[in-house]
C-alpha cells in the first residue's frame, strides 16, 4: 500500500463546502491564492498544482466556451498569460512552459463549466522517479511560499504596465 502524508488537506476536508463553481464564489477574489485581479479576469495559483508555480487565468464571468468571451475578456486573459509567464520567468527561472485550456471533460478539464487558462512552468527533468515509478506527484514548495515570491511581481507588471 502506498502512503503519502498531506496534512494541509485536512483543512479542506473539514471545511464547509459551498455549492456552485469554485471560480465564481464571491470569496475567491479575496482568497490567499489570488495573485492579481484585473477588470474582466484574475490570476490564481492552482490549489492542486502539477508543479510549483502552476497558475490559472480565469474570467470573472462563468463561461465554458472560448467563443462566448468578449473581446475585452480575451485580450485581458491573453495579457495576463503574458504577465504570468514574465513573473514565473523572473522568479522561478523555468526552462519552458505549458500554457493552455482544457475544454470539456474529454479534454481533461477538471472544472469544465468555467473556462480557465493554465500556465505551468517546466524544467528539464522536472518529472522525477516519484511521478514515473511511484505514481506520486511531489510539489517542491509550499503554495503560500510560492505566492509570497510571485505576488510582488504581478504588481510590477500589471500596475506599471507590460512594457
CA 6 – CA 125 distance, rounded (Å): 24
Rg (CA), the chain: 16
CA 153 – CA 8 distance, rounded (Å): 26
Tell me the pLDDT band of 77, cut-offs 50, 70 and 90.
Answer: very high
Give residue 154's pLDDT: 86
Q: What is the per-residue pLDDT across 93-146, written as a single tens digit (0 to 9) for each?
A: 999 999 999 888 888 777 778 899 999 999 887 765 445 445 666 677 788 888
Tell me the pLDDT band of 88, cut-offs 50, 70 and 90.
Answer: very high
CA 125 – CA 86 distance, rounded (Å): 21
Under a CB-based contact definition with an 8 Å cutoff, are residues 117 and 100 in contact?
yes
The residue ranking higher by pLDDT, 70 or 155, is 70
Domain spanning 22-160 has what CATH number?
3.30.428.10
Of residues 116, 118, 149, 153, which has the active-site annotation? 116
Is 153 an active-site residue? no
Q: What is the per-residue pLDDT across 42-67, written as a single tens digit (0 to 9) for each?
A: 999 988 888 889 999 999 999 999 99
Mean pLDDT over 146-152 rounds to 88
Give residue 163's pLDDT: 47
Residue-range domain boundaries for the chain: 22-160
Q: What is the per-residue pLDDT across 21-41, written as a single tens digit (0 to 9) for each?
A: 778 766 565 567 899 999 999
Amino acid at each position: 500500500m502506498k502512503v503519502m502524508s498531506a496534512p494541509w488537506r485536512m483543512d479542506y476536508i473539514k471545511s464547509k463546502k459551498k455549492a456552485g463553481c469554485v471560480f465564481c464564489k464571491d470569496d475567491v477574489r479575496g482568497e490567499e491564492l489570488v495573485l492579481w485581479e484585473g477588470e474582466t479576469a484574475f490570476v490564481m495559483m492552482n490549489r492542486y498544482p502539477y508543479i510549483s508555480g502552476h497558475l490559472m487565468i480565469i474570467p470573472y464571468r462563468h463561461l465554458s466556451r472560448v467563443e462566448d468571451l468578449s473581446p475585452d475578456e480575451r485580450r485581458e486573459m491573453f495579457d495576463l498569460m503574458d504577465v504570468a509567464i514574465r513573473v514565473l520567468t523572473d522568479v522561478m527561472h523555468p526552462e519552458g512552459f505549458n500554457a493552455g485550456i482544457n475544454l470539456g471533460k474529454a479534454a481533461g478539464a477538471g472544472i469544465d463549466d468555467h473556462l480557465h487558462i493554465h500556465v505551468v512552468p517546466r524544467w528539464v527533468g522536472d518529472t522525477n522517479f516519484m511521478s514515473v515509478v511511484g505514481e506520486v506527484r511531489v510539489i517542491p514548495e509550499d503554495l503560500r511560499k510560492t505566492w509570497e515570491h510571485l505576488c510582488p511581481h504581478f504588481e510590477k507588471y500589471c500596475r506599471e504596465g507590460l512594457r
